[in-house]
Structure 1
Amino acid sequence: MIFKSKLPDIKISPEGIYQYMTSNPSGISDDKIIYVDGLTDKSYTFGKFKSESKKFAAGLLDEFKFKRGDVVAIFSPNQVDYPIVLMGTIVAGGKVTLVNPKCTPDQLSFQLTDSNASVLVTHPDLLTVVVSASIKTNVQILLFGDREINGYKPYRSELIKNYEIEPVVYAQEEAKTTTAYLCYSSGTTGKQKGVEITHRNVVTNLAQIINFEKDFGSHSIFMGVLPFYHIYALLCGIHLTLICGATAIVLPDFDVEIFCRCIEKYKINYIHVVPPIILRLVKDPIARKIPIKQAFGLTETTFSLYSDSNNIVEGSCGMLLQNMEAKLISDDGDDLEPNKPGELCVRGPNIMKGYLNNKDATDATFDKDGFLHTGDIAYVNDQGL
């Protein structure tokens, strides 16, 4: 039995990520502050962000002969400059692979090789790991920050040009099939895999979130503490901020005291967190009681799949988002009726393209009808939730 979202379908923009992100539906001015470093107060306005990302793209083309489809890797804790590198690569028609800053040299080396990254931008504190991991690659190494270290130079001095280039434009069919991000995940089983997230996947999931959470807008101030390499933070910390014309306060990691101080200082009204942070907060006397909503998703679904609402039935994870279908199957592969738990399988325009360089894993994850098998157990109640 196929369960369709109870929410009405929405129209999905045919544009690529950069065009959609900067379409400015909230009508903010170029002077509106978008990203703020929560430790130093360094910030980027909407206008500065657009200009810097297009200058970064110009540098990629000039200095590294960067071509459409080439890959930039980002290996760093959250930085206020992170979105510049991310979107600058998209402007140039490239792909970005996001690397967990806690990766070992071997893990980093595998991801650089598997993704075929030609440029790596990293935090200075991670340079030792990068140098060790890059021995067998031809990747060009650049740094966040303003200091040259052991001959490795800041990306700003090397790539930010005094002129901009026009972003690569994607036709509707190209946006559906062109990979934008390579986010590495274990998938449902086995070794780490490169999840190919397309322009269409990202635009779809953002449209779903915005349509569901209608109170997001230019007044919103988000906490950007979740690591940007993770699909949740990538979508909500960077992309949702841009499309809403909101502001994100960027922190490199979670510290209860700094976290709470930023909430007071910047009047943060939305915090995207994961369960371990919630547990830390409720156990810490510094933190106050806060209302909590929940969502559920995977890297393979471009983050959100189900989301909470104001009338959720107790015990329910939420509503299947717009333009999506789901089914539950038994251990024998049989379709299940409501109120019977089984493996959750989903289909929709926010589902990944597939696993990079891994046809066997891709084929094993999708069934003949195009449903992604999540490996998670769920059930649908009588209300369709």
Structure 2
Amino acid sequence: MIFKSKYPDINVPQVGIYHYVTSNPNKISDDKTVYIDGITGKGYTYGEVKYESKKFAAGLQDKLGFKRGDVLAICSPNQIDYPIVLLGTIAAGGKVTTADPKYKASELSYQLTNSGASVLIVHPEYIETGIEASIEAKIPISRVLLFGDKEIKGYKPYRSILIGNRKIVPISYTPEEAKITTAYLPYSSGTTGKQKGIELTHSNITANLAQLINANCNLGPHSIIMGILPLYHVYSLTCILNGTLIHGATLIILPSFNVETFGESIQKYKINHIYAVPPIILQLVNNPVIHNYDLSSVKMIVTGAAPLSDELAKKWFEMFKIPTLQAYGLTETSPVLNYPDTINLNNAFPGSIGPLLPNVKAKLLSEDGLELGYNELGDLWGYLNNKEATAAVFDKDGFFNTGDIASVDEQGILYC
């Protein structure tokens, strides 16, 4: 059988990402701070994000001849200018491929070459990897730029080259263009094999953001979000970086996870909404240092990327009385398919990952390909420059094979 969302269908926004995330449905002021570096305290207001990203876009066009459809790569841990580079590239009509900064040079070079990247913005800490990879990918030194404000080995900060006085009018898209125009190119191994570029269109991302807005995610201008998950991952790109803007929230950006910084940031900024992964919860449960901090501002933690065991969720709740809820998705699905009802916390079911988002349909198949019904366990049913891998994960009805084992109960709650 086909399982449908309990939520009514929604109208998917028919615009590009930049216009959607800056549409400001909550009417926040341009003076509101939306991104804060949790270590240094440096921040960007909503108005500054728009202004700086449009100047970055102009610099790409004027100084590097960057054209609509060109690809820019970001290789960096989380840091305060990440949103400016990402959104500026989108405003210029480009595509962004986001790379794990811990990649070896050969891995980064493969992504640069496979994605067709012509510009690389790299964090100074990883400049050696960036240099080697860019040489292998034949990206000239003039198109390899740094975060920060220091020149290193002849490689210049992007601000010294790209940020001038001109700002552009962001590229706009017709509804049809938004559906077919690639915006983000994150890389994933999928269910098997070598890393593959996932072509996510403007509509893929705007649709997922609109689905979350309509699925009781309980985010808005009141929300202060923990930005600890890596922004190169689509989970963070969609839910955290872009989600902050469309909800009018505030994001505290941290470069990496450690218990002390995690606790200090919650206590200092009164963070109330946290996206995490199960290994973070496990570290917090096992490290007594976390008890040194006031976590009372936190209303909930939403986990994803891997299953959260009932035992770990219960242990965390017993320690801090903060509920942990699970979302589910994949890079290929932009990413979220299911999201917990965070308004009605009592409706959360142990081991569940919540109902399907609006407009989402799913089916379960047995090992021999038969469609399954409620409470039956079965398989929960595209890549750049890899048609064979793309064809292998879609069935004749257009359903994507996640590779995960799941069941669905009569309330439409997914267990995975």
TM-score bin (small chain): over 0.9
What is the match of residue 260 of structure 1? Answer: 263
What is the match of residue 334 of structure 2? Answer: 302
Distance 2:94 2:281 in 1: 36
| Shift in Å, 1:316 | 2.4
Distance 1:303 1:269 in 2: 23
What is the match of residue 341 of structure 1? Answer: 377
What is the match of residue 216 of structure 2? Answer: 213
Q: What is the correspondence of 1:1-385 to structure 2 with a 5 Å cutoff?
A: 1-139=1-139, 140-287=143-290, 289=320, 290-309=322-341, 310=345, 311-345=347-381, 354-385=382-413
SS at match of 1:212: coil
| Shift in Å, 1:367 | 0.9
| Shift in Å, 1:208 | 1.1
Q: Please tell me the residue identity of whatever aligns with 1:314.
A: P
Q: Please tell me the residue identity of whatever aligns with 2:184.
A: Y
Q: Normalising by structure 2, what TM-score?
A: 0.89
SS at match of 1:314: coil
| Shift in Å, 1:33 | 0.3
1:237 to 1:382, Cα distance in 2 relative to 1, 3 A? closer
Greater mean alpha carbon deviation, residues 331-340 or residues 47-56: 331-340
Distance 1:328 1:221 in 2: 37
| Count of residues in Structure 1 that have an aligned counterpart in Structure 2 | 377
- Which consecutive unaligned segments of at least 5 residues does structure 2 have? 292-319
Q: Please tell me the residue identity of whatever aligns with 2:12.
A: I
- Which consecutive unaligned segments of at least 5 residues does structure 1 have? 346-353
| Shift in Å, 1:381 | 1.8
| Shift in Å, 1:186 | 0.5
Alignment deviations for residues 199-232 of structure 1 (CA, whole Å, 9 cap, x no partner): 0010111111121135211111001110000111
Q: Normalising by structure 1, what TM-score?
A: 0.96
| Shift in Å, 1:168 | 0.4
| Shift in Å, 1:343 | 0.7
Q: Please tell me the residue identity of whatever aligns with 1:371.
A: F
Residue 327 of structure 2 contacts residue 336 of structure 2 at CA under 8 Å; is this kept in 1?
yes
Q: Please tell me the residue identity of whatever aligns with 2:183.
A: A
Distance 1:149 1:299 in 2: 34
Distance 2:138 2:168 in 1: 26
Q: Please tell me the residue identity of whatever aligns with 2:222.
A: H
> Percent identity among equivalent residues?
60
SS at match of 1:189: coil
1:331 to 1:214, Cα distance in 2 relative to 1, 3 A? closer
How big is the alpha-carbon RMSD for the aligned residues of Structure 1 and Structure 2?
1.1
